[in-house]
């Protein structure tokens, strides 16, 4: 009989782990005895997060430096991980951003969709063989209830025909993540790898700290003072990552410790297939 799930001594990779919700999840995992690896875009911030977690928990995380807006960088980071022959029991796809104006990634993809959605798609599928080999394993995708205000046009997923304010782009990327999670759960049935999504709710984070102008820093200042702490917001992601009660549970969406029904596109039953095909074309990776 397989013992109940326990993150102690499990290898756990958390993206966007140098601040906010990602750092809180990584810290809580380390506190529970997990072997945590932090993925972030800046080495200095990764090292600072590593040292802080080590001081607080007595466990020193590993580091993977990766610019998630770059397809080449994601492939490099995944290849380095796979070359280590290291197991992977938990992947928390947390990294995300907001941007005030339409910008493009180094690969010419609209930046919000590239970082928030396509990076998770590409990294997850690159690492999937290792997750399957390490099973039982879990994938936790950090989505958002902002997806409820979004719709996806399969002919204009990058909003080239018109930019609809930054929350619109953010919401679309989070809706895409939920389509990805649903389709991936279907494909992973019977492998021992589960995938679930979470909305942590409002988080007192610095997600807009690096945007130019005055609006983003002001919004970030208010967010940090009015929203719940990352540690409190991370409880639901930790539930999906660590609870033995969720053994075998896959394809679900959670908010505030409760299972919720996402708002998909009932008028587009083919959206899962169309979005998957578009993602494969943009990332060069498909289900192995």
Tens digit of each residue's pLDDT (9 = 90 or more) over 26-60: 999 999 999 999 999 999 999 999 999 999 999 99
Nearest one of 235, 254, 244 to 31, comparing CA atoms:
235
One-letter-per-residue 3-state SS of 239-284: HHHHCHHHCCCCCCEEECCEEECCCCCCCCCCHHHHHHHHHHHHHC
**What is the reported pTM?**
0.91
**Of 117, 170, 253, 264, which is the active-site residue?**
170
Give the three-state DSSP class for 37.
strand
DSSP E strands in 66-189: the ranges are 90-93, 137-142
Q: Is 170 a residue of the active site? A: yes
Category of 186 on φ-ψ map: left (φ > 0), alpha (ψ -120 to 50) or beta: alpha
Beta strands at 253-255 and 258-260: parallel, antiparallel or unpaired: antiparallel
Intervals of the chain under pLDDT 70: 1, 163-165, 203-228, 266-267
The domain limits of the chain are: 11-283
11-283: CATH superfamily: NAD(P)-binding Rossmann-like Domain (3.40.50.720)
Tell me the sheet residues that pair with 141: 93, 197
Beta strands at 137-142 and 193-199: parallel, antiparallel or unpaired: parallel
Tens digit of each residue's pLDDT (9 = 90 or more) over 155-198: 888 888 876 667 889 999 999 999 999 999 999 999 999 999 99
């Amino acid at each position: 009989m397989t013992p109940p799930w326990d993150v102690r001594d499990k290898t756990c990779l958390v993206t966007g782990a140098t601040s906010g919700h990602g750092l809180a999840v990584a810290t809580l995992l380390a506190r529970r005895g997990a072997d945590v690896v932090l993925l972030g875009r800046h080495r200095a911030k990764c090292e600072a997060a590593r040292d802080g977690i080590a001081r607080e928990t007595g466990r020193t995380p590993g580091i993977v430096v990766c610019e998630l807006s770059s397809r080449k960088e994601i492939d490099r980071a995944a290849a380095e991980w796979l070359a280590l022959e290291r197991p992977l029991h938990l992947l928390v796809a947390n990294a995300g951003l907001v941007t005030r104006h339409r910008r493009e990634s180094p690969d010419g993809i609209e930046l919000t969709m590239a970082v928030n959605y396509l990076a998770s798609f590409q990294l997850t599928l690159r690492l999937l063989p290792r997750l399957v080999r390490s099973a039982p394993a879990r994938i936790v995708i950090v989505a958002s209830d902002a997806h409820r205000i979004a719709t996806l046009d399969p002919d204009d997923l990058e909003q080239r025909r018109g930019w609809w304010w930054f929350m619109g782009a953010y919401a679309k990327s989070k809706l895409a993540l939920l389509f990805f999670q649903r389709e991936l759960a279907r494909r992973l049935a019977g492998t021992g790898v589960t995938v679930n999504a979470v909305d942590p709710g409002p988080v007192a984070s610095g997600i807009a700290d690096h945007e130019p102008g005055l609006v983003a820093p002001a919004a970030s200042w208010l967010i940090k003072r009015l929203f719940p702490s990352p540690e409190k917001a991370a409880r639901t992601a930790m539930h999906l990552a660590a609870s033995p009660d969720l053994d075998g549970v896959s394809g679900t969406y959670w908010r505030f410790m409760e299972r919720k029904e996402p708002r998909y596109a009932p008028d587009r039953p083919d959206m899962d297939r169309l979005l998957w095909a578009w993602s494969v074309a943009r990332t060069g990776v498909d289900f192995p």
